[in-house]
Every structure is written in structure tokens, then in C-alpha cells.
Amino acid sequence: MTRQIHLGSVAIGGDAPIVIQSMCNTKTTDAEGTLAQIRQLADLGCQVIRVALPAFSAMSSLERICAESPLPVVADIHFDARLALEALSAGAHGIRVNPGNLRDTTAIRQLAQEAARLSRCVRIGVNMGSLSPSAQKRYGMSAEAMVQSALEYLKIFEDAGCQNLKVSLKSSDLRISIEAARRFHAISDWPLHLGITEAGTPMAGTIKSAIGLGVLLLEGIGDTIRVSLTAPPKAEITAAHRILEALGLLPGRPQLVSCPTCGRTRIDLIPIAEAVEAEIDRLMSAGKTIALRKIAVMGCEVNGPGEAADADLGIAGGNGTGTVFKFGKPVQHCPENELLPVLLAEIHAAAKLPIRASKSSGKPW
Ligand code: SF4
């Protein structure tokens, strides 16, 4: 169990659900466009948003974004600690820095003191390409060097009294990223942000991220995630939901199990599965949780009854007909054209507004 920290109103670590992040691809100088994208991502279930802060010229725009954003805003800063200091003054709820490319130790200490004074969140983002010189000298380009770099930088922020710290350890090599996260988690209770950097285009990047994040999340490692994709940011939120859903880590969202169809399938199954998935998406986007653990959409009697019976809700197709299962028991046999309406009615009956919604977005996730 990691310690719990706060980024604006969002809890990260401890017993909090995994937090989904993304990053705007708008220019931060364009406050209007950036806010529009943040609102769109918030509606899709994003909980924390990061914006690039490459220059002082974006500071007044950042101030407006932080004031009007429905999500906590993290300013992403490289090379110049003074940018991070000003971002805190501009109201950034958090900053992401890589001390490995800030270099100026005095400026980093000043930044740490200011973040502590304002109780703001700092993500210490260590990349293989910018390790601490001493860690690199001792451990080479390795997972251990990333961990030691993080510990070295953490100490500066801990000594200044920062309470809201998280760490990311990123390499484009999946194995090194996983090993670094495991090693760090074994010796530190600061929350970990997980992401596979430069993961790629939507299909390839989602698969790579699902492997890297999935391995760690299944081991109980990781408190917040970003699925980095070469795609519009909304694709990152969809991918993050799919990954967490597959791992059973998305509160209020049932896992959808559906068969691939084959020569035995005697109903038009694919549109039924797609319609069920779309309705789950729609209800979740409307801020509902669905009190079902698993929904099974199965084509025939081979695996259908078994999978459907193991689900809270399911169908097993027959010859132009199907059987509906609820909590392991067949409850209804009906013609094919009634299967989807029956499923949707049951899903609606199980959908409700969440007991504990995120303060930032009103969403259950
Ligand atoms: S559940 Fe039946 S229809 Fe679906 S893939 Fe398996 S054998 Fe084929």
C-alpha cells in the first residue's frame, strides 16, 4: 500500500482507485482551445490533465486554464526550474519535473520549498535519458540507476517538507520500465505514476501499454496511469478504461466478455456485443456506475452457458434464439431480436449514480 497524496481534489495512492491521466496536445498559449480539450477529456473520464509549459509566454494562459479547468492541472516543465516556480504561482495544482534536466540544485531546492509551502503536488519524472550523474556513474543505464535517481531527487523534496509527491520511472524499453517500477515499489511508499513512454500509434501503443501497465497493476503496483498514444488525447482515455476494465480495476464498470463468433454461431452476435459495450460507455460517461461485475455475450451452447452462468448477466445464443442468464441462472428464453433489449433493460436497472463521485468531474472513476 502506498501513502495517499492529493493532486487538487483527486486522491492518489493508498486505497484510492487508479487515477487516469492524459496530456493536452493543444498549445498552452491557447487557453480557449486547451480548456475545450480538458472539458472533453473530463467528460470521457479523465481525472488529471497535464499541459506543456515550454516558455514563460504561456504563463498567463496557464493561470486561466488552472482557474477554469474542471480537472487538476499539472504543468509539465523541463530545463528551467524558474518555470516551475512561476507555474505554482499561476495556480498549477501540480508540476511534473525531471530534476535530471533541471541541474541547478539551488533552484530545485527553492522549488521544493515553494511546493511544500503551497502543498502542491510534484511528480518526479525520471527518464532513462536524463539520469542523475552519480546514479548513472554507479549503476550505468539501468533500472537501478532510474530508481536511485528518483530516490536522490525525492530526498530534496522530502527534506523541504513536501507531502504530495509521486514518481514515474520511464524507459521506452518495456522490461526496464517494469523492473524499475518493481524495484522502486519494493523500497518506497510514494505513489507511482505508470506509463510506457512513446508507446506508439493507437493499436500498437495500446497493446504495449496494456502489457507494461497490466503486468505492474496485476502485482498491485501503480497508482495513476497514462496510456501515451500517438493519437488525439481522447483515445488515451478510452484505452486506459479498456486496460483497467480488463484488469477489473475500474470501479462501477462491468467486464464485458464476448465470444469471437465461429461457424457454430446462429445469431448475429457482433452487433449485440458492440451495442452492449456502447451502452456501458454511455452510462459511464453520464456519471453512472453499473452494479454488475461481468456481462457475457456468447454465441452458442459450447462455452456460452458456462461463461454466461459465471457472469452477473449474460446471454447464450441458440438457433435464432437465446437464453438470458442472471447471477448464474437461466431466467428467460427468447427470440434473437429480443436479446439485446432484454440485456439493455437489465443493464439500465443495474445503473445508478455513484455513491462517491470524483469531486473534480462528478464521474465515478
Ligand atoms: S461460444 Fe460458441 S459461437 Fe462463440 S466462439 Fe465459442 S463455439 Fe463459437
Q: CATH number of the domain that 126 lies in?
A: 3.20.20.20
Q: Is 110 in the pocket of ligand 1 (CB under 6 A)?
A: no
In-domain check, residue 361 = no
Please name the residue that has the C-alpha cell 542523475: 132
Q: Is 302 in the pocket of ligand 1 (CB under 6 A)?
A: yes
Q: Is 259 in the pocket of ligand 1 (CB under 6 A)?
A: yes
Q: Is 266 in the pocket of ligand 1 (CB under 6 A)?
A: no
Cα(269) to centroid(ligand 1), Å: 10
Whether residue 172 is found in the same domain as residue 65: yes
With the most atoms of ligand 1 within 8 angstroms of its CB, the residue from 257, 259, 267 to mutate is 259
Whether residue 58 is found in the same domain as residue 162: yes
Task: Please say which residue of 218, 246, 274 terminates a domain.
Answer: 246
Helices (H), 166-292: 174-187, 202-218, 233-246, 269-285
Cell of 84: 516551475
pLDDT score for 198: 75
pLDDT score for 305: 76
Q: Is 268 in the pocket of ligand 1 (CB under 6 A)?
A: no
| Percent of the chain that is helix, strand, coil (3-state, to 5) | 45, 20, 35
pLDDT score for 358: 41
Q: Is 265 in the pocket of ligand 1 (CB under 6 A)?
A: yes
* Ligand 1 nearest atom to the CA of residue 262, by list position: 8
Cα(346) to centroid(ligand 1), Å: 23
Whether residue 143 is found in the same domain as residue 279: no
Give the strand pairing for 121-127 and 94-97: parallel
Cα(284) to centroid(ligand 1), Å: 28
pLDDT score for 199: 73
* Ligand 1 nearest atom to the CA of residue 316, by list position: 1
Protein residue closest via CA to atom 5 of ligand 1: 261
* Ligand 1 nearest atom to the CA of residue 260, by list position: 5
325 lies in which domain range? 255-352
Whether residue 202 is found in the same domain as residue 325: no
In-domain check, residue 168 = yes
Q: Is 304 in the pocket of ligand 1 (CB under 6 A)?
A: yes
Other C-beta atoms lying within 10 Å of the C-beta of residue 33 = 14
pTM of the model: 0.88
pLDDT score for 352: 82
Whether residue 166 is found in the same domain as residue 209: yes
Q: Is 127 in the pocket of ligand 1 (CB under 6 A)?
A: no
Q: Do residues 324 and 331 lie in contact, with contact meaning Cβ atoms separated by under 8 Å?
A: yes
Task: Please say which residue of 246, 271, 304 terminates a domain.
Answer: 246
- Specify the CATH number for the domain of residue 295: 3.30.413.10
Cα(345) to centroid(ligand 1), Å: 24
Protein residue closest via CA to atom 8 of ligand 1: 262
pLDDT score for 354: 59
Whether residue 224 is found in the same domain as residue 272: no
Protein residue closest via CA to atom 7 of ligand 1: 302
pLDDT, averaged in runs of 10, over the chain (365 residues): 96 96 97 98 94 96 98 94 95 93 87 97 92 93 96 96 96 91 98 88 92 96 96 94 90 91 94 95 86 92 78 93 91 95 95 54 38
Other C-beta atoms lying within 10 Å of the C-beta of residue 278 = 10
> CA 8 to CA 310: how far, in whole Å?
40
Q: Is 318 in the pocket of ligand 1 (CB under 6 A)?
A: no
State the number of CA atoms in the 13 A half-sphere of 70 facing the CB.
19
Q: Is 319 in the pocket of ligand 1 (CB under 6 A)?
A: no
With the most atoms of ligand 1 within 8 angstroms of its CB, the residue from 258, 262, 272, 307 to mutate is 262
Task: Please say which residue of 246, 267, 299 terminates a domain.
Answer: 246
pLDDT score for 1: 86
* Ligand 1 nearest atom to the CA of residue 259, by list position: 4
Residue 167: partners with Cβ closer than 8 Å, 6 or more residues away:
123, 124, 125, 126, 150, 154, 184, 188, 190, 191, 192, 193
In-domain check, residue 363 = no
Whether residue 84 is found in the same domain as residue 200: yes
Other C-beta atoms lying within 10 Å of the C-beta of residue 189 = 12
Whether residue 241 is found in the same domain as residue 260: no
Cα(260) to centroid(ligand 1), Å: 7
In-domain check, residue 73 = yes
Whether residue 42 is found in the same domain as residue 145: yes
In-domain check, residue 360 = no
In-domain check, residue 196 = yes
Q: How many domains does the chain have?
A: 2
